[in-house]
Amino acid sequence: MSVVTIERKVLQKNDELAAANRELFARNGLLVLNIVSSPGAGKTTLLEATIEALRDKVRIAVVEGDVQTDIDAQRVAQYGVPVVQIVTNGGCHLEASLVADAVGSLDLDQVDLLLIENVGNLVCPANFDLGEALKVVVLSTTEGADKPLKYPAMFRKAGVLIVNKVDLLPYVNVDIAAIKRHAHQINPRLVIFETAATSRFGVAEWCDWLMAKLTAGHA
Ligand code: MG
């Protein structure tokens, strides 16, 4: 019983801080994405591809969340955008307070699009609102078609599903139609894109959609 109560208090506190983040982001006219997936689905590669496609059109900043190391921040920094690494030291998700600290070191006046890469995990990050406008869940084809059904909270809370590594479809025993069907079964409003981020396949469609979202937001 007490465990449940503590958890509820933690989540309530996080929701308050997330609301403050959301206000801050709105004040600065920022579109903020919270990118979630299991480890190795391709979040960082998708980030790199997205930055590459959009950096001449919009001002992008990145917050990287990892349990350990700044490997991802170093990768993203090569693209010449501001990046802040959060190391959770074992924590399985980002929290609103960590994001508030991280964006404190960014000049938000100079940013239109903030991309937050969450810790690789399909479970914990679902419960922690960061103040983002949109959760983007990345699922690689190698993970199997049952994942939306097994981890429904993440898919229910996301606005976009990116099915990544579609170039591996000939080599894996997975039905992409089943991935999409299961995802829509959990969340009929999910907007779905198919990508192979390493070769940039499908990235233009995703980025066009994102640009339309940015334009609509700033109109
Ligand atoms: Mg990563």
Q: Which domain holds residue 35?
A: 2-215
pLDDT of amino acid 78: 97
Q: How far is CA 65 from CA 103, 134, 216, in A?
A: 12, 17, 28
State in Å: Cα 64 to ligand 1 middle. Answer: 8
Total count of domains within the chain: 1
Q: For the whole model, what pTM was predicted?
A: 0.95
CATH number at residue 184: 3.40.50.300
Q: Which residue ranges of the chain lie beneath pLDDT 50?
A: 219
pLDDT of amino acid 167: 98
pLDDT of amino acid 90: 93
Start-to-end CA span in the chain (Å): 48
pLDDT of amino acid 122: 95
Nearest CA to 34 among 160, 121, 134? Answer: 134
Note whether 186 and 152 are within 8 A (CB). Answer: yes
State in Å: Cα 44 to ligand 1 middle. Answer: 4
pLDDT of amino acid 5: 73
State in Å: Cα 56 to ligand 1 middle. Answer: 23
